[in-house]
Chains A and B, each alone.
Chain A
Amino acid sequence: MYPPNFDYVTPSTLDEALAVLSESENAKVLSGGMSLIPLMKLRLVRPATVVDISRIPGLDGVVDHGDHIEIGAMVRTAETAGNALIAEHATALAEAASATADLQVRNQGTTCGSIAHADLAADQPAAVLALAGTMVAASTRGTREIAAADFFVDTLTSALESDEILVKIKIPKGGKSVYRKLGRRGGGSDYPIAAAAVWVDTDGSTVADARIAVTGVSSKPYLASESAAAMVGTGGSGEAIAAASSHATDGVVVLEDLYASVDYRTHLAKVYVKRALEDVLA
């Protein structure tokens, strides 16, 4: 629980932070520290330089841009959970944020930090997948946008390059979404054993479009595209939901651990896709 020595820098501008990242061989970005610091204390991650972005002005806003909202790099998970804009336009993300860890961790950790960390069982990545969020990554080479669907590469691996900072997430408005989970300590408590975020756009009683994301089940949060496709065009009946949820783990390798067998976790993925669909269409 004692990391090896590292350099610690606190840039006061984004450019300064990006410059340090571009020059350093082995630097890590620190925002809230709720993922990075435990790994450093276990000596599983050994950065030469830690770039603390918490003192850079302008990264802590939740901004309404008309057709989408923007969540800055330093927006704490607790704010995501309680922000009215997010609650209205990105309900699944607000619910996922409020289901993350405990209050102390939510007060300290950031939404962007959790997403950049790309834990296979984190809550908020599933929500940004279902909401078709766009990740805005900055480096000295410029700024680029990465679709959520392309962002989560593997366990603890995202599409971010080592010199990039996830400076904000853009979430398009429209539709309705929810997040439903079973946590390791029962109910919504602790890391999900399995969880689903569901976004739908309806035309009258017909499901015009849907995205379904699953977390805690495979090596990364993923879009259950077959489930979503099965919902589109249906009236959201119980039969339609059951049929769609049966595809929740199609094409993925379901993981086994202390909390679930493959069979149980596969079953849970279907149950939580089903429950999320029922609730979002209710």
Chain B
Amino acid sequence: MSTTSVMGGIVRRKEDPALIQGKGVYVDDKKFHGELSVAFVRSPFAAATIESIDTSAAEALDGVWAVYTSADVSHLGPNPAQVPVGALRPLLAEGVVKHVGEAVAMVVASDRYIAEDAAELVFVDYDPGEAVVDLKEAFTDAVKVHADASNTLLTWNGNAWWAGVIELPDPQPAIQESKLRDDAIVVSLEMTNQRLIPTAIEPRAVIAEWNDGYGSVELWTSSQIPHAVAGAIGITFGIASNKVRVVAPEVGGGFGVKLNVYPDEILVCFASKQLGRPVRWTETRREAAFSSIQGRGWLGTATITGTSEGKILGYELEVMCDMGAYTHNFTVAIPLLGLFVASGQYDIPTSYKLHCVTTNTMTTDAYRGAGRPEAAYYLERIIDVFSRRIGMDPADVRKANFWPPEAFPVQVPIGLTMDSGNYAENLDSLLDRVGYDDLKAKRDAARSEGRLLGIGLSSYVEVCGFGPSVLVGTAFSWASYGLPSAFNGSGVVRVQPDGTCTVTIGTGPSGQGHETTWAQIVSDGLGIPMDNIEVHHGDSLDSPMGVGTFGSRSIAVDGSATFEATGRVREKAAVIAGHLLEAAADDMVFEDGGAHVAGSPDRAVTWAEIALSAYQPHTLPEGVEGGLESSVVFSPPNATWPFGSHMALVEVDPETGDVDLLNYWATDDCGNVINPMIVDGQVHGGIAQGVAQALFEEAIYDSDGNLLTTSMIDYALPSAENLPMFSLDRTVTPTDSNPLGVKGIGEAGTIGSAQTIVNAVVDAVAHLGVEHIEMPLRPKRVWQAIQDARG
């Protein structure tokens, strides 16, 4: 029985006092006695053969302990945590390099400064070869990244998800037939969804200590997936997983960049084992640009066939997706994730064709949204182009094609089932709140004065909250990592003998506020005050078997496990309290830090009294075991399907092309909400990263494969001054796929926002003859588009 009301309420974050005071412990704060430091020697070439490596001068430098190359580590095999499609990244380059920044040698020294000095003394004789960076060029195989393989790793042509699992009819005949209709209007546009550098405020950092006495290793790493890292290390070194402790303490931002197992995580363990000392490496900001994964990097053509009344008869998307030189944790799976939401909120025949293409660049992998922002971008941009072509309001076109609420559950073209959705209500709610008609009038009035205002709209649907086991276990089995998990959630709730509570979860935050949100779930269920609940996470041995934080999955999956565990603890506590109060367990009410008999608040026991009894079994009723804790693994029956509608108002400077984002509104639906402040924070950050893609950020490689954006000078990360206050609201359509009715909100803001901005900017200049501008919409591009349109 829920008797407190912290769930659904704004509760200040428990974790903030320590973090704000600089007292949170991140990897770099954790000091080991006698630790050594690593610097990597990295390739300056995107494609080269390594003729020789001379480490003698580096090894001779005072303070240098070791210099390792592939000759020292290749026996460990490649990092096992990589999708086995395409080339696997070796721990250190083996005779060839395939992208700028690839690690060639590893220097270990008594401090980082000496290590960097020594790295400059490692002489690598490269024979540069020809690199291929351009996607279309790579697709031709004229220059191969890996000599013995096509650059195209995988082509997905059709609409069946994981062939053999779910087969659906091919939509292409119907789409092609609709193009022959007399009233058919076809719009088609090639668009780039540019490469991005995910930028966490804390770069990646690792420190390992190998203990020969125990035959064990402890690795602290800034990671979203400590259990998977532990699995990979166990496999690599041939030791049992219970001898590997991987700790992800405070993590300063993840966004997918820390959702990989990286060679350095393995290499510091190796070096520690060899040298008998703890070994540390912390990524520099420059290294973060080219040696941690990047995101997006798609080039595609979106085509809509529809009628002048706004009915969409078919949607086709064909994309080339840049995988980089090696595949990592998910890499080729990211574009496939876009499949799930290719047709968005719409009842439209959809065909999705993709090619995963290798280039001489850093690997791409999951970046906030991971396949879903890209899919939403193509669909919602081409709907805007279509709307303009037929002269219909883009909101009306969207409404004409939404799945109606009564259609749910809906099988999406790719084969999964969307359990719930209420799209028209959500969009209407946004339009009412914004005052859409007034906004359009304001835009038109400004335009008559020569000012370029534009309104952008996007709907989106997300798929997240992964599991379910049947899908993920079939598709993404991580068994090869030593992690037999199909993306279950896990939670352990333990009441301590003093009546306080410890919650241990299989996921962990990288800033999202899990400690507060999880404490709210437990406090709500047990009536234990928030301050008496501690949430622990991020230790591969002490946390329950977990998967990690990504895909907006933590609350739906691990949160549900904790909710179920809380219920089981409450059931047992009711038996104990009833026994202590000589009343029926069913009559127990939990609130105000204890339990009392329903209707008799004075007949009460505190949680300390209940817990003390639980740990003194002679005081328990017959047949009740001692202890007061529960461990639950939750496997959801389905993914979750958040959705929403976003709108932006921009003004374009006609003389310079400078875009001013004046207002941003979002109405999201993530089901039930546990902490509105935390959910708003997630939406804020998500929108900021989507706006960043639309207006500012781009990882730029030149044709030789040199990354030109390796610092914040060249990679324009926005700051608060570049963004307006966002105006947020929600509709609430709970899912029945988990007991909390929650869907996840970590990525929604990003999935909805980039195309909202582009739609707005194009709206501001469309009357001049501009149909599309490629992201990021830097002033030069907007200005050039205006110039080109004016001829």
CB-CB under 8 A from B718, the residues of chain A are 185
- The reply to whether A187 and B714 contact each other, CB–CB distance below 8 Å, is no
| Cβ of B779 to closest chain A Cβ, rounded Å | 6
**Chain B interface size range:** 20 to 34
How far apart sit A2 and B709, CA to CA, in the bound complex (Å)? 19
Return the contact of A189 from the options B117, B656, B721 (Cβ within 8 A): B721
| Cβ of B453 to closest chain A Cβ, rounded Å | 16
| Cβ of B3 to closest chain A Cβ, rounded Å | 47
| Identity of the chain A residue whose Cβ is nearest the Cβ of B700 in the assembled complex | A258
How far apart sit A186 and B724, CA to CA, in the bound complex (Å)? 13
| Identity of the chain A residue whose Cβ is nearest the Cβ of B115 in the assembled complex | A2
- The reply to whether B722 and A185 contact each other, CB–CB distance below 8 Å, is yes
Determine whether B695 belongs to the interface, using a CB cutoff of 8 Å to chain A.
yes
- The reply to whether B656 and A258 contact each other, CB–CB distance below 8 Å, is no
Return the contact of B113 from the options A2, A182, A258 (Cβ within 8 A): A2
| Identity of the chain B residue whose Cβ is nearest the Cβ of A271 in the assembled complex | B655
How far apart sit A267 and B655, CA to CA, in the bound complex (Å)? 9
Determine whether B780 belongs to the interface, using a CB cutoff of 8 Å to chain A.
yes
Return the contact of B284 from the options A1, A191, A260, A264 (Cβ within 8 A): A1
**Which residues between 76 and 111 of chain A lie within 8 Å of chain B, taking CB atoms?**
102
Interface of A is mostly: loop
Determine whether B658 belongs to the interface, using a CB cutoff of 8 Å to chain A.
yes
CB-CB under 8 A from B714, the residues of chain A are 258
- The reply to whether A185 and B655 contact each other, CB–CB distance below 8 Å, is no
CB-CB under 8 A from A264, the residues of chain B are 779-780, 783-784
**Residues A259 and B286 in contact in the complex (CB < 8 Å), given A2-B112, A186-B660, A189-B721:** no
CB-CB under 8 A from A268, the residues of chain B are 656
Most buried by A among B286, B779, B784: B779
**Residues A193 and B779 in contact in the complex (CB < 8 Å), given A187-B658, A264-B784, A268-B656:** yes
**Which residues between 165 and 203 of chain A lie within 8 Å of chain B, taking CB atoms?**
182, 184-187, 189-191, 193
CB-CB under 8 A from B388, the residues of chain A are none
Determine whether A261 belongs to the interface, using a CB cutoff of 8 Å to chain B.
yes
- The reply to whether A5 and B286 contact each other, CB–CB distance below 8 Å, is no
How far apart sit A3 and B117, CA to CA, in the bound complex (Å)? 9
| Cβ of B73 to closest chain A Cβ, rounded Å | 23
**Chain A interface size range:** 20 to 34
- The reply to whether A1 and B708 contact each other, CB–CB distance below 8 Å, is no
- The reply to whether A4 and B286 contact each other, CB–CB distance below 8 Å, is no
CB-CB under 8 A from A258, the residues of chain B are 700, 708-709, 714
| Cβ of A269 to closest chain B Cβ, rounded Å | 11
CB-CB under 8 A from A260, the residues of chain B are 780
- The reply to whether B700 and A271 contact each other, CB–CB distance below 8 Å, is no
- The reply to whether B286 and A42 contact each other, CB–CB distance below 8 Å, is yes
CB-CB under 8 A from B721, the residues of chain A are 102, 189
**Residues A187 and B286 in contact in the complex (CB < 8 Å), given A193-B779, A264-B780, A264-B783:** no
Determine whether B21 belongs to the interface, using a CB cutoff of 8 Å to chain A.
no
| Identity of the chain A residue whose Cβ is nearest the Cβ of B285 in the assembled complex | A1
How far apart sit A102 and B718, CA to CA, in the bound complex (Å)? 12
Determine whether B716 belongs to the interface, using a CB cutoff of 8 Å to chain A.
yes
Interface string of B660-685 (1 = CB under 8 A from A): 10000000000000000000000000
- The reply to whether A271 and B656 contact each other, CB–CB distance below 8 Å, is yes
- The reply to whether A186 and B113 contact each other, CB–CB distance below 8 Å, is no
| Identity of the chain B residue whose Cβ is nearest the Cβ of A267 in the assembled complex | B783
- The reply to whether B286 and A185 contact each other, CB–CB distance below 8 Å, is no
| Cβ of A151 to closest chain B Cβ, rounded Å | 23
| Identity of the chain B residue whose Cβ is nearest the Cβ of A270 in the assembled complex | B655
Interface string of A250-277 (1 = CB under 8 A from B): 0000000011110010011001000000
| Identity of the chain A residue whose Cβ is nearest the Cβ of B719 in the assembled complex | A102
**Residues A186 and B695 in contact in the complex (CB < 8 Å), given A4-B117, A42-B286, A191-B713:** yes
**Residues A186 and B658 in contact in the complex (CB < 8 Å), given A1-B285, A4-B113:** yes
Most buried by B among A3, A102, A258: A258
CB-CB under 8 A from A267, the residues of chain B are 783
Determine whether B659 belongs to the interface, using a CB cutoff of 8 Å to chain A.
yes
Nearest first, the 4 closest Cβ-Cβ pairs linking A and B are A1-B284, A2-B116, A264-B780, A2-B113
Given A2-B39, A4-B113, A5-B117, 4 more pairs with CB closer than 8 A? A185-B716, A186-B659, A191-B713, A264-B784
A-B contact pairs, 23 of them (CB 8 A): A1-B284, A2-B39, A2-B115, A2-B284, A3-B113, A4-B116, A5-B113, A43-B120, A102-B719, A182-B658, A185-B696, A185-B716, A185-B719, A185-B722, A186-B660, A186-B695, A189-B721, A190-B716, A193-B779, A258-B708, A259-B780, A261-B780, A264-B779
